[in-house]
Every structure is written in C-alpha cells, then in structure tokens.
Structure 1
C-alpha cells in the first residue's frame, strides 16, 4: 500500500480517536454538571408511640396515660438537590432509573422567588401547626374540651385599630361574645355595618380593658377594623411532640393516633406495625399529601404491614403500592380509629383504597 494512503488512513484514525475522546470527555464533564432537578427518595420513619434519641416522640403531662405496643409510624420523604446544592446529571439519571425515587423539577419544591431557608422555616412552622391541630383533633375525638387564645399581631396603619389595639393584646371577647377563635372575632366584626361600633374586651399585661372601635368598609365590602390576629390553643394538659428535624404538615394523622393511643386503655395497633400519612385539621378531617410512592416504600422498609392512606391519595397509591403493604383508606381521624379497631378485633369493615 502506498505510503501516502497509509498517512491518510492514519490521519483519519487519529481524527476518529480524537473525536471519540472529545465526545467521551464532554460526556464525562456533562454528567457532573448541575441540573435543576430534585431527587425524592424514601425518608426515615418515626414511631409516634415510640422514642427518638431515647425520648418519647409524644409526651403527655397532666393527664393519665396508658401503655402502648406496636407502631404508629409517620413516614417522610428525603430530598437531594435544590438551589443551594444542585444535583448533577448523573445523579438525576440514576434517579430516573430507580423506581423507588422520583426526579422532579426544582421549582416544584423550591419556588424561583423563594429563599430555601425561608422554605425550611415555613416547613418548621407547618410542623408546629400540624402538632397543634393533631392534638386538637385527638381531644375532639375524645370529647375533651379545650380553649383558644386570640391575640393581636398588628394594627393596620390608617385603620380604626391603629393606636388602640397593640401587638400582644389578648382578645377576650367581642361585643360580649367569647373570642373562641380568630374566625369568631372576624365574623363578629363583619356582622356590623360600616360606621357601627364594635367593643373589644382585651387583656394588656395584667389589665383588662374595653376598647370601642368604629368599623369601616374593607376592600371586599365587609366591615373591618384593621387588626391582624393569631390563635393559640389552650389545652387542659401538656402534649409535647419531639420529631427532630422533620418538617411539614403531613404527619398530622399519625400524631393524632399516637396521642389517642396514649390517652386510652388498650392498644390501638393490636401490637402490629402500622404506618400512615395525611394532614389533619381540628375537626379530624384527613387531607392529601405529596410523595406518597416514596412514603409507602419507607413504610414497607420499616416493617409496616398496614398503611393508612388519605382518601384523596388512594388512586395514586394503588399504582405504586409495594407488595405486602395493605392500604387502608383514611378520610377522618374517627374512621381511621374504626379501621384500626376492625383490624385489631377482626370485627367490622376495613375501608380499602380503590384504583381511580
């Protein structure tokens, strides 16, 4: 073969080799470039009738409690990524292959205009509110009365409350009606026509005062006085919940069940390992949550055989339920208790999730 042809072939081989090396190099570099996605995976579970770091998850003081057994576990979702620590393409690709995790756009977890620290703080507040709502729901289920304190957060500038109501004032009553919650106070003010007087009885420090304000028309046509309020529960005994760094409202149902189990004789679980999820409000209504697929995997990995599922998540859960995990539909705290009673005793029906 002529020398010039060998040279041409050698050049072509070298060119192909260099091109292949360049593609490989670019692929390697690209695989480690950050991408705006978040990987969601099964997080840790915590037994609400058990302990965390040698401390009870739920501590109750001032009321008789009873022994418990088994597990009523809350489930969580762990995430990897976010604006402050973006994952690389390789991590995202591994997530897309793994059926136990989900890879979602970063903005679904972190809104573009939100500081990640602000999101974490919000999750912490939601967890605190969830614990209060869970306690209220449990006490409502047991018909144990409790109260609520309504206090002033701020008085709006230019409105009747300015200079007359102060931050920290506790509102005892409005027009003689006990201030049971923020809605009662707000609705009482709205019941007046603009220009009418409304009388607030407040506690400021150690002094009780009557403050008369003249209502004005708000932006939606309803009467207002320009006060921002917040409510705090007044429970008849102390309920303290310790879950470490877990945030968000999705453990509400399991907190309520854990409180109920400790406040009532017998074992709600029948000694079984039960997990579940769902938000809850004081009326005991169970709301939907996110990450149901990952939470079910976490439940199964923890040894749970029954998973309490919010009714609105049932259809989604049926598509990804792990083998050996029984889905029980939970729309209210009361119905969840009835379902657990039926599971424990073998008497009565157990509401099951159905595919949508």
Structure 2
C-alpha cells in the first residue's frame, strides 16, 4: 500500500508491513523481523510479550492511494477540493527482543503495550483480520450516512443479514431495501427497529421492500429474542446507504479499525458540497463517527498528533473525550481543536481558515 506521495511513511525498521485493529486505532504493524527471534539451535522465542506504539503514516482522504482516489464518489456531481483532510494511524512494532524493546523505550517516544492488546488471546490471526475488516467496513458505512444526513440527502435501509431461526427466515433476503413499515416510509435502521419494537411478539407487521428492482410487500409474525422478552423482533441486521443513486467507495484496503470515520465523513461532505470544506488548509484528525454525526474517542492519539505535526498539518481535529491526552505532548505550532460532532469539526475548520479563535484542547 502506497499512500499519497506527499505522505510517504518512513518506517524506523525494516520488516513486514501490515495493518491490524487495536481497539479503535487503525494501526500499521511493523514486524522487526521476518520470523520470531529464537535462541540459536532451539525454538525458544526471544521476543518480549510487548509491542511498541508510535506515529504511523497519514493518508489524505481527498487524495489518491495506489493510483485511485481514497474516496471515490459516483452518481452525483463532485466539487474540486483543496488542501488536506488527513486521517492518521498508529504504527505498532512486534517480535522485538529485550534489547530492541529497551531501545525503543529509552530512545524514542514510543509507548509499550502488552502484546495481547494487539493480538487478543481469545482470537486467532484470521479472527483478528475479520474483526478488523468488519470494524473498518462499519466505519465506512457510518461515515457515508453521517455525510448524507449532514447534507440532507436521502438514505435508505438495506438488509445486511437474515438471522437463522427468526421470524425473518425465509421472508427477507440479503440486500432487500426496506422502503416502509406498515405503510410508513422509513430511511434509517432505527426507524425500522422502533416500529417493530413497538409491537409485541406474535403480532403481524408488513414491510414494503424493493428486491431485484421490484417493489413488494412482506408480511410476517414478529418473534421474540431471549434477551429482550415481550418486544417484537424481526431477525435482520440492517445497514444504510445513500438513497438517491450516490455510491461512495473507500479504497484504503489495508487499514482497519473505526477511528477514520470522522475524516472519511468530512471528505465525503467536501466532495459533495461547493468550496473547500477545510478552507484549503492542511487539516488532520481522528475520531469515530456515528450515523447522526457524533464523534467518539479513539486510542493512541498522542502518536496520531505527532504524525500529523511531523507531516506539516496546521490544524488537528481531536475527539473532545481525547482532548487532554491529545495535548499532553509538544505539538509545535499545530492547533489541536476539540470536536464532539461533525458540525463542530466543520465550524473549527471555518474558524481556523478565517483566522479566528478555535475551541482548542486543554491539558489536565
């Protein structure tokens, strides 16, 4: 994976480069050795049970990666963008000997974390990979819908999965688009859930769906979930997508975790609205996003601030709940703004571009 040419990462050590999820952190994993160090002539590992976290590469969400737009939008007219909206990552080094770990602890600003923070003991590598991909996909979906909601563009509800042994089995199909519940139009999964949960198990409910380009009605008898007795349950997992033909594709295939959500959403808004959202400035940031635009906290923020400052960012958008940690280290002349939602992030960029006073993060 090659980021935008102006943000090429410079790893401190050679070795494998791949990404994993670390809680809410997209990370770049840098193995210090191709294989785990062992005592010569034995299979006894010399690797310490710790990993070193440090600043990772940044990616301009308005730019390109591997010759493709990081965020590609079709089905709508897009506007020219300026400057940067960089998402930030954390690098993680594993397979370290005691000497290597001590060296990073003594001579860098890396932080040491138990290895099971990277590879949970109850998950194998394939499960970690799947969890990582799922978190990133969910983040992309939330970012898209948050942007559509901000822009007052329509959204629609899509069936992502039909749960076995539930009322929906044999009635719904994956990729059904839910248009209405009992004749009332719906645009969000929460609206579908609220209408179903307002009824009791055993009651009838009618869904209007679009399947294979045709509209049809589905009637079913509501079931009940063991963990939620007395409340009607359908048995589907739902997601949202733009409802007016817009398609948003994200082309950072090897980065995982949900903390790019806010920056993705801002980039989508920038591309679908007139004028540069960032005022043409170099803005970086991090934070999870919900479909209603709330920005949530993440891990490893000190390293993300360091990475952004090293790349020349002028303004860093930090989740309000991470503020004290975000400014616990020197961040030079870069302004670190406190944001709790998309509106505050956009307001911070407007204020900064106009030379005004931004609401900044304050140390404890």
- Structure whose alpha-carbon radius of gyration is higher: 1
Q: Are residues 1:44 and 2:57 paired? A: yes
CA contact (8 A) 2:159 2:173 kept: no
TM superposition shift of 1:176: 2.7
TM superposition shift of 1:328: 1.0
Find the partner of 2:342 among 333, 336, 339: 333
3-state SS in 2 of match to 1:258: helix
2:204 aligned residue:
197
The verdict on how the C-alpha distance between 1:163 and 1:247 changes in structure 2, with shifts beyond 3 A counting, is: closer
1:185 aligned residue:
192
3-state SS in 1 of match to 2:135: helix
Deviation by residue 1:89-131 (Cα, 9 ceiling, x = unmatched) = 1222122224421110012222210112221222222222212
1:60 aligned residue:
73
Give the alignment's TM-score, normalised by structure 1: 0.81
1:234 aligned residue:
242
Q: Are residues 1:122 and 2:131 paired? A: yes
The verdict on how the C-alpha distance between 1:234 and 1:354 changes in structure 2, with shifts beyond 3 A counting, is: same
Q: Are residues 1:71 and 2:84 paired? A: yes
Deviation by residue 1:138-157 (Cα, 9 ceiling, x = unmatched) = 2222222222223552232x
RMSD: 2.7
Find the partner of 1:353 among 337, 361, 364: 361
Which has the larger displacement, 329-338 or 50-59?
A: 50-59
The verdict on how the C-alpha distance between 1:146 and 1:190 changes in structure 2, with shifts beyond 3 A counting, is: closer
1:4 aligned residue:
none
Which structure dedicates a bigger proportion of its chain to helix? 1
Provide the C-alpha distance between the structure 1 equivalents of 2:188 and 2:71, rounded to a whole number of angstroms.
Answer: 26
2:302 aligned residue:
293
CA contact (8 A) 2:168 2:220 kept: no
3-state SS in 1 of match to 2:228: coil
Find the partner of 1:311 among 320, 335, 340: 320
Provide the C-alpha distance between the structure 1 equivalents of 2:277 and 2:209, rounded to a whole number of angstroms.
Answer: 43
Provide the C-alpha distance between the structure 1 equivalents of 2:167 and 2:247, rounded to a whole number of angstroms.
Answer: 37
The verdict on how the C-alpha distance between 1:145 and 1:179 changes in structure 2, with shifts beyond 3 A counting, is: closer
Q: Are residues 1:274 and 2:289 paired? A: no
Give structure 1 stretches of 5+ with no counterpart.
1-25
The verdict on how the C-alpha distance between 1:277 and 1:161 changes in structure 2, with shifts beyond 3 A counting, is: closer
The verdict on how the C-alpha distance between 1:355 and 1:209 changes in structure 2, with shifts beyond 3 A counting, is: same
TM superposition shift of 1:214: 4.9
The verdict on how the C-alpha distance between 1:246 and 1:194 changes in structure 2, with shifts beyond 3 A counting, is: closer
Find the partner of 1:213 among 214, 221, 236: 221
2:4 aligned residue:
none
Give structure 2 stretches of 5+ with no counterpart.
1-38
3-state SS in 1 of match to 2:163: strand
Provide the C-alpha distance between the structure 1 equivalents of 2:77 and 2:253, rounded to a whole number of angstroms.
Answer: 25
Give the alignment's TM-score, normalised by structure 2: 0.79
CA contact (8 A) 1:152 1:170 kept: no
CA contact (8 A) 1:74 1:276 kept: yes
CA contact (8 A) 2:287 2:319 kept: yes
Provide the C-alpha distance between the structure 1 equivalents of 2:172 and 2:79, rounded to a whole number of angstroms.
Answer: 45
Which has the larger displacement, 248-257 or 119-128?
A: 119-128
1:5 aligned residue:
none
The verdict on how the C-alpha distance between 1:194 and 1:106 changes in structure 2, with shifts beyond 3 A counting, is: same
CA contact (8 A) 2:157 2:178 kept: no
Q: Are residues 1:174 and 2:181 paired? A: yes
Deviation by residue 1:139-182 (Cα, 9 ceiling, x = unmatched) = 222222222223552232xx544555555655444333335333
Runs of 4+, deviation exceeding 6 Å: none
The verdict on how the C-alpha distance between 1:88 and 1:308 changes in structure 2, with shifts beyond 3 A counting, is: same
The verdict on how the C-alpha distance between 1:215 and 1:267 changes in structure 2, with shifts beyond 3 A counting, is: closer
How many residue pairs align between the two structures?
A: 321
